[in-house]
Amino acid sequence: MNTGTARFTPGSYLRDRAPLLAAGVLGVACLYAMLRIVGLAHPATAALCLYLMLLGGCGLLWGYLRRRRFYSTLAEALDSLEHAYQLPSFVEAPHFLEGRIAYEACDEICHADANDLAALREKARADREFMELWIHEVKTPIAAAKLTLSHLHGSESQRLKQDLERIEFACERALYNARIDSLAGDYAIRDTPLAQLCREACKQLANLLIEMRVTPDVRITESVTVLTDAAWTRFVVKQALSNALKYGAHKITFSACEEHPGTPKGRTVLEIADDGAGIPADEVARVFDRGFSGSNGRREGSSTGMGLYLAAQVCKAMGTGLQIASEEGVGTRVLLAFPHDRSVLELHTCT
Amino acid sequence: MALVYIVEDDKTLRAGLGHLLELEGLEWCACEDFADVATAVLAAQPDCVVLDAMLPGTDGRVICRQLRAQSDVPIIMLTCLDSEFDEVMAFNQGADDYLVKPYRPAVLLAHIRAALRRKDAGVCTVVEHNGVALDLGTGQVTYQGRETELTRNEARILGLLIRNAGAVTSRAELMCDLWESDAFIDDNTLTVNVNRLRRALASIGVPEGFVSTKRGAGYLV
């Protein structure tokens, strides 16, 4: 934290007092000359002057020492502090005047800062809370609309069902965005059947997938399970599906394989492969950036650049590996890696 | 006939749910006043209770506990809250099942059916139209004393067509319904399945045109 160039050293202390020192030396010299003119003997004059200089030196040393104590605690505190506004509570007020003036000013600034920060935090918390509440509120009318629609037939109702699916997924995205900061403590890791999870994700977007003539193919053995939070993982899978949908895929294949089984590095990798437009090579690295929509997204005009960012954040919080491989014109592969040994993972994230 | 009791404060949701149950051949009732839900529910002696977790002036979980104290009727909790804590809480209060809004109607229905099956409440699984009777459980289809067995997909298609009898069922709807049963078929496979269904029906003498194609719209029985 301490990035300033000013350091409190004996050299800098003396340099800072150079005019005072010069004036002192000059004063002693003048005194010596005057006393000599008056007729005092050389040894007595010299002794007096030396005595005066010694006194001055002691004064300087005392001043140096009392300041040094303050500045060294200040430098230490600045290096270890997490937030600048905590400074006054870690550093005692100094006893010398300039120090006290600076300290009081600093104290005031820190207080104002702490208040601002608390207000902002409170606002962010209230916003997040409202967002979550709002999303929960909107779920009831969505459920009601779905029920009403389930009695209606024909192409209009089909279109409404698709739009409803879109709204629902958008709400889910908003919910995860609101929760993203508190995600890490909010998941429930369980042994989750992978094939079932993928099928459920497809079902939640069924109307959209069918409309766009996208057919999922789940080639995962029923017995394959992974240690993960089902709801969050489903959200990530849905994000991959929604992207495949957007970029003109017709077939989405789910497959899974085990890597390094039985070792601490053991993991199950879920691959979601589509035959859509693919991502240009120079953009692949940035797809997880917040707000990055890429040339595909800009062409479609419906990309917010939030989906994969959120997916990446969710995966990071859960300790799931997320990777994307793509070839333009051939398709995209989304790879989700679920570690077998969560305890090893927890150990790694702790250290 | 099985009776499902709906405890839900949202009117649209309640009516929608009721309608859905009627189409499935289930009876239902609901309460409008949430002051003493437990007594009202117990008085109705339902075979299954669909209980919203958040109600005006009261808490679904409290009602759940009250019900469980006096009856072993299957309780399906519906909730907007999807944290692990809420789920565990629901089960701790005695719920048998737990669904997070917004659920898909077909899924809720499947859960209700499963609850009724466990309770052995005699769910009627046979649907009928113009003399063609289909047992949804076994896929057995009967027409004028002759019968044949349908595959799972064919039975599912015919079941939906008969439930929507008189209205055109779109191909997308049929596909969605099949997807719900884990059969992620594409458009061509649906055509193949419908043609096979027609052949199977013809083999027991069902007149041609029982399942008619409405070009660009879907199918109709």
Of A168, A213, A215, the CB nearest to B102: A168
Q: What is the pLDDT of residue A269?
A: 94
> What ipTM is given for this predicted complex?
0.77
Class of residue A64 by CB neighbours under 10 A (exposed 0-12, middle 13-18, buried 19+) = middle
Checking B186-192 for CB contacts under 8 A at 24+ apart, the result is B186/A213, B186/A215, B187/A213, B190/B157
- Other C-beta atoms closer than 10 Å to the C-beta of A311 total 28
What is the rounded average pLDDT of the residues A196-206? 94
Q: What is the pLDDT of residue A350?
A: 45
Q: Phi/psi at B99 (nearest 5 deg)?
A: -130, 140
Q: Is the pLDDT of residue A82 over 80?
A: no
| Chain B residue at shortest CA distance from A197 | B182
What is the rounded average pLDDT of the residues A24-51? 89
Q: What is the pLDDT of residue A122?
A: 93
Query: In chain A, which residues have their Cβ closer than 8 Å to the Cβ of B78?
Result: 143
Of all residues in chain A, the percent with pLDDT exceeding 70 is: 93
What is the helix (H) or strand (E) element at residue A233, kind and residue range? helix A230-246
Strand ranges across the sheet with B75-79: B27-30, B3-7, B48-52, B75-79, B97-100
Q: What is the pLDDT of residue A301?
A: 61
- Extract the tokens encoding B133: 């009777």
Q: How confident is the model at residue A351 (pLDDT cuts 50, 70, 90)?
A: very low
Q: How far is B170 from chain A (nearest CA, A)?
A: 6
Q: Give per-residue pLDDT as tens, A207-231.
A: 999 988 999 999 999 999 999 988 8
Residue B80 DSSP class = S
Q: What is the pLDDT of residue A3?
A: 54
Rounded CA separation B105/B17 (Å): 8
**Helices A42-80 & A18-38, crossing angle to 10 degrees?**
170
Q: What is the pLDDT of residue A321?
A: 92
Rounded CA separation A210/A39 (Å): 115
* Average pLDDT, rounded, for chain B: 87
Please state the separation of Cα B47 from the chain's center in Å.
Answer: 15
SS3 A74: helix
Q: Give per-residue pLDDT as tens, B67-85.
A: 988 888 999 998 877 677 7
What is the rounded average pLDDT of the residues B30-58? 87
What is the rounded average pLDDT of the residues A264-286? 89
Residue type, A344: V
Q: What is the pLDDT of residue A136?
A: 82
Query: In chain B, which residues have their Cβ closer than 8 Å to the Cβ of A153?
Result: 164, 167-170, 173, 218
Of B16, B83, B175, the CB nearest to A148: B16
Rounded CA separation B168/B159 (Å): 14
Report the candidate in A213, A204, A251, A227 with the shortest Cα–Cα distance to residue A319. A227
What radius of gyration do chain A's Cα atoms show?
Answer: 35
Of A136, A202, A231, the CB nearest to B179: A202
What is the rounded average pLDDT of the residues A316-324? 90
Is B121 in contact with B99 (CB distance < 8 Å)? no
Q: Is the pLDDT of residue A200 over 60?
A: yes
Instruction: Note the pTM of the prediction, 2 decimals.
Output: 0.76
What is the helix (H) or strand (E) element at residue A311, kind and residue range? helix A307-318
SS3 B182: coil
Is A169 in contact with A238 (CB distance < 8 Å)? yes
What is the rounded average pLDDT of the residues A33-62? 89
Asked whether the beta carbons of residue A231 and residue B82 sit closer than 8 angstroms, the reply is yes
Q: How far is A184 from chain B (nearest CA, A)?
A: 13
Q: How far is B145 from chain A (nearest CA, A)?
A: 32
Q: How confident is the model at residue A283 (pLDDT cuts 50, 70, 90)?
A: confident
Mutate to test the interface with B, among A135, A147, A218 (most CBs of B within 10 A): A147
Parallel, antiparallel or unpaired: strands A267-274 and B218-220: unpaired
Rounded CA separation A25/A35 (Å): 15
Rounded CA separation A49/A34 (Å): 12
Q: Report in angstroms the alpha-carbon separations of A33 from A28, A50, B84.
A: 9, 14, 90
Q: How confident is the model at residue A2 (pLDDT cuts 50, 70, 90)?
A: very low
Find out whether the peptide bond into B102 is cis, omega within 30 degrees of 0: yes
Report the candidate in A231, A224, A325 with the shortest Cα–Cα distance to residue A267. A224
| Chain A residue at shortest CA distance from B166 | A153
Q: Chain A within 8 Å of B164 (Cβ-Cβ)?
A: yes
Of B20, B167, B175, the CB nearest to A147: B20
- Extract the tokens encoding A18: 């150079």
Q: Which residue has the higher pLDDT, A242 or A264?
A: A242
Q: Which residue has the higher pLDDT, B210 or B34?
A: B210
Q: Is the pLDDT of residue B53 over 60?
A: yes
Q: What is the pLDDT of residue A233?
A: 94
Q: Chain A within 8 Å of B99 (Cβ-Cβ)?
A: no
Q: Which residues, including other chains, have CB under 8 Å from residue B28's CB and lie 6 or more apart?
A: B3, B4, B5, B6, B17, B18, B21, B22
